[in-house]
Amino acid sequence: MELRHLLYFKTVAEELHFTKAAAKLFISQPPLSRQIKELEEELGVKLFVRNNKRVTLTNAGKYFKAEVAALFAKLEENKEVVRKIHGGVSGELKIGYISSVYQSHLAEILKLMHREFPYLKTSLFEVPTLTQIKELEHGTLDVGILRAPVISEQLKVESLFFDPFVVVIPLTEQKINNQDELAGFLKKSPFIFFNKDFAPQYNQKLIEICHRMGFSPDITHEANNVHSILQLVEAGLGVSILPLSLKRQYAQLNVAFIEFDAIPVNTEVVLAYKESNKNPALAWFINHYAALKNDQ
């Protein structure tokens, strides 16, 4: 059995018409019929039923069609992997990240990567977690920096660090001395959260924190990135709950970060990628970026 036999079978199975299949394969019909007959003889089964100029698949043919389609799909994936390996040193590495992750570490890694792969182009895309998962699965992104959970059988996930949540309030607000005062203050404050359609699981986590403190948040403003949320807090339009790691990134803003003492709730920051992606630059990035978990 040769690959051409499988290609000829696949084409006839899709067209269910020998003349159309032959035209699609740029061969005449008699050689095509002969190749299909050879395949059936080798397998010892009938793959097609031909009568009254109508072609249908037998049960064995239907099963074989699905298996051959999967084989060709895997072959195409392998061809793409080979291309990526070949172009890894001088190609492109597409990195997704979320706005709520401290980015100076990413900049440091990219500087080191440029020294290691001087001809490599790196492209950064600020993309929410759910969109990153889809783009990683489809190969639009090579690697993603996002927040768990990452629900996908196609992706490998590596934990980076756990990021505790903190309350963020305008710097001019009243002094808060304990958790009871914090809960009382938050009950009366308008909240600024991530849009629930944009980041549903993240949004649910923040609401859960408020419920554990004994109230439902009054969500007055929603935004799709952490920069906008913090700017709205700084402007005095409300309060928010965000990861503590952002404190270093936005130290220049006139906001205060207040930690939860009684509610140790956190979020996990992870790397996600396809193990089938053999780009050497990707492997280098994963190894070096994953080392950050020792720095948190």
* pLDDT at residue 23, as a whole number: 92
Residues 222 and 152 occupy one common structural domain:
no
Strand partners, 96: 125, 144
Q: Is there a contact between 72 and 64 (Cβ–Cβ < 8 Å)? A: no
Q: Is there a contact between 190 and 240 (Cβ–Cβ < 8 Å)? A: no
Parallel, antiparallel or unpaired: strands 255-259 and 156-170? antiparallel
Residues 106 and 81 occupy one common structural domain:
no
Residues 105 and 169 occupy one common structural domain:
no
Please give the Cα distance from 7 to 233 (Å, whole number). Answer: 61
* pLDDT at residue 88, as a whole number: 54
Residues 197 and 254 occupy one common structural domain:
yes
Strand partners, 161: 269
* Phi and psi angles of residue 125, each rounded to the nearest 5 degrees, phi first: -135, 120
DSSP tag of 147: E
Q: What is the CATH number of the domain that holds 122?
A: 3.40.190.10
Residues 135 and 147 occupy one common structural domain:
yes
Residues 174 and 230 occupy one common structural domain:
yes
* pLDDT at residue 86, as a whole number: 62
Residues 105 and 146 occupy one common structural domain:
yes
Fill in the amino acid letter for 142: D
Q: How far is CA 236 from CA 173, 198, 260, in A?
A: 9, 24, 21
* pLDDT at residue 278, as a whole number: 82
Instruction: Give residue for tokens 């009054």.
Output: 218
Residues 66 and 17 occupy one common structural domain:
yes
Residues 75 and 119 occupy one common structural domain:
no
Residues 130 and 189 occupy one common structural domain:
no
- Structural domain including 61 reads 3-87
pTM of the model: 0.61
Q: How many domains does the chain have?
A: 3
Residues 232 and 274 occupy one common structural domain:
no
pLDDT in tens, the chain (296 residues): 788 899 999 999 999 999 899 999 899 999 999 999 999 999 999 999 988 778 999 999 999 999 999 999 889 888 876 766 665 565 789 999 988 776 677 888 899 988 888 878 899 998 888 899 999 999 999 999 998 889 899 999 999 888 888 899 998 766 777 778 888 888 999 999 988 887 787 788 888 888 988 888 999 998 888 889 999 999 999 999 998 888 878 888 899 888 876 677 788 889 999 988 888 889 999 998 877 655 55
Q: What is 211-266 written as a DSSP string?
A: HHTTS--EEEEEESSHHHHHHHHHTTS-BEEEETTHHHHTTTSSEEEEE-SS---E
H-helix or E-strand containing 60? helix 59-87
Please give the Cα distance from 12 to 6 (Å, whole number). Answer: 10
Name, in order, each residue with C-beta under 8 angstroms of 6's C-beta and a sequence gap of 6 or more: 39, 68, 71, 72
Please give the Cα distance from 113 to 93 (Å, whole number). Answer: 11
* pLDDT at residue 77, as a whole number: 82
